[in-house]
Amino acid sequence: MPKEPGAIKPAPEEIPQQQQGGQEGVEDDTSSHLWKRERKPDGSELPLLLDAPSPTECENDYQRELVERVRRFTRDATAASHYALTRILGEYRYGGGRAIGERLRRYLEEKNLLLPTFDLAFGEEAEGLLTAAELDDRIPQGGLSPDQAVLIFQLPKVLKYFWWKSNESVREGTRVYGEHHAYTRSSRDQRDAKWLDEAEKSGLQNMIIEWGKMYSEYIPTIWHVRANYEGDALCFERLNKSGEHDPDEYYYVWIIEPGVKTQQEE
């Protein structure tokens, strides 16, 4: 796929399957106790950034079971994300071999900027999520039933805001977020574009932390965790197209339902 001005390379999900190699940095057994093992550097538990109905807010046992399965999936996705990003950050070098400083890494941990966020809703509330994301044209004819659920995944904030930032990014016009969604650059982006032009003239362009490169390395993590749940514990029907993402609203949007496994089998 041709590289647009200011665009990062396509995420691995958008590369044909035969071109994808094996994934590094994430354990194969992400669904087996990874959530319990992965911790913050100070030993504290990872927070789960999931907005979902509580058991008492669910209308029936079907909804309660689905919420619990989604909670397990999002916990593993959170743990795998933290594991992958902390490893990527630890190995990353820029500016002639400089590592990312401990102060910045500590700030990212303290503010939970390395963790993804999730939203889960049923029925009319799920339709509201799709409308807010400007995906109301994906609502099935007749609307969602009260038991139909939508799950939204959003990138960790540090990637959500800086997915585009690399030595090849930032030029005049728009930044492309995936293939289908583009938005106009803000005044801050224009300032960054001017800084990059000056940096290139002075030979300092390699001083930029390439969050966009980390984003491309990170994305297979979520695919891997989803594959561990797909069909057995959960079924995912993706609503946004390949390459269609909104940095303010969503990265993945799924209609989600329980898979074929019963809770006793899991």
Q: Residue 159 phi/psi, 5° resolution?
A: -90, -35
Instruction: Report how far residue 247's alpha carbon sits from residue 161's, in angstroms, rounded to the nearest whole number.
Output: 7
Residue of 21 and 236 predicted with greater confidence = 236
Asked if 217 contacts 156 with a C-beta cutoff of 8 angstroms, the reply is no
pLDDT score, position 257? 95
Is residue 10 assigned to a domain?
no
Is residue 192 assigned to a domain?
no
Angle at 145 between CA 139 and CA 148, to 5 degrees: 80
pLDDT score, position 134? 93
- Look up tokens 């990212």; give the residue: 108
Q: Which residues contact 162 (CB under 8 A, 6 or more apart)?
A: 209, 211, 212
Q: Which residues contact 264 (CB under 8 A, 6 or more apart)?
A: none
Do β-strands 252-258 and 149-154 pair in parallel, antiparallel, or remain unpaired? Answer: antiparallel
pLDDT score, position 252? 96
Instruction: Report how far residue 31's alpha carbon sits from residue 169's, in angstroms, rounded to the nearest whole number.
Output: 35
Q: Residue 99 phi/psi, 5° resolution?
A: -85, 155
Angle at 68 between CA 67 and CA 69, to 5 degrees: 90
Summarize the confidence of residues 232-252 as an average pLDDT. Answer: 91
What pLDDT, in 10s, does the model give residues 195-212? Answer: 445 544 444 445 567 787
Which one, of 194, 214, 200, lies nearest residue 8 by Cα? 214
For the chain, give the percent of residues with pLDDT over 70.
67
Is residue 177 assigned to a domain?
no
Is residue 72 assigned to a domain?
yes
Q: How far is C-alpha 243 from the chain's CA centre?
A: 13
Which one, of 73, 159, 158, 78, lies nearest residue 117 by Cα? 78
Residue of 260 and 232 predicted with greater confidence = 232
Angle at 53 between CA 49 and CA 58, to 5 degrees: 155
Is residue 1 assigned to a domain?
no
Range with lowest mean pLDDT among 211-215, 224-228, 253-257: 211-215
Edge-first strand listing for the sheet containing 252-258 = 50-51, 117-122, 149-154, 252-258, 234-238
Instruction: Report how far residue 255's alpha carbon sits from residue 129's, in angstroms, rounded to the nearest whole number.
Output: 12
What pLDDT, in 10s, does the model give residues 147-195? Answer: 999 999 999 998 888 777 665 544 433 344 443 333 333 444 544 555 4
Q: Which residues contact 25 (CB under 8 A, 6 or more apart)?
A: 83, 84, 87, 88, 217, 221
pLDDT score, position 99? 80
How many structural domains comprise the chain? 1
Is the pLDDT reported for residue 12 higher than 50? no
What domain range is 252 assigned to?
A: 45-160+212-258
Is the pLDDT reported for residue 11 higher than 90? no
pLDDT score, position 96? 66
Residue-averaged pLDDT of the chain: 75
Is residue 179 assigned to a domain?
no
Is residue 3 assigned to a domain?
no
Asked if 33 contacts 75 with a C-beta cutoff of 8 angstroms, the reply is no
pLDDT tier for residue 117 given thresholds of 50, 70 and 90: very high
pLDDT score, position 259? 86
pTM value surpassing 0.85: no
pLDDT score, position 65? 96
Is residue 21 assigned to a domain?
no
Instruction: Report how far residue 254's alpha carbon sits from residue 93's, in angstroms, rounded to the nearest whole number.
Output: 35
pLDDT tier for residue 112 given thresholds of 50, 70 and 90: very high
Asked if 229 contacts 73 with a C-beta cutoff of 8 angstroms, the reply is yes
Q: How far is C-alpha 264 from the chain's CA centre?
A: 30
